[in-house]
Amino acid sequence: MEIFWTGVATIAVLLIIFVVLPAMIDSPTKCHEPPLVRYTPEQAHRVTQKLKNCDVGMCEAKACAFRTLCQAGRTVPAPMAKW
């Protein structure tokens, strides 16, 4: 009987190492979905304010709003860091 529980524990540990942990690492938490129709600059401005705590790299809605504002000349992206 002891060997049965040792086998169960071994399988559980292997599942955690090869299934659960990689899934936790690889799945970035999706923030807000992008709009179905492109934002107007006014909508993009409101979305940017509403999602001010979202990271542009993680939030597709905020990234879309930011692109719209850039294309409309309402904002200028920060210059890239020079190496």
Residues that bind Zn ion (CB under 5 A): 31-32, 51, 54, 59
- Whether the CB-CB separation of 70 and 77 falls below 8 Å is answered with yes
Shortest Cβ distance from residue 26 to Zn ion (Å)?
A: 20
- Whether the CB-CB separation of 54 and 62 falls below 8 Å is answered with yes
Q: Residue 32 or 74: which CB sits closer to Zn ion?
A: 32
Residue 76 makes CB contacts below 8 A (sequence gap 6+) with 70
Shortest Cβ distance from residue 30 to Zn ion (Å)?
A: 8
Shortest Cβ distance from residue 59 to Zn ion (Å)?
A: 3
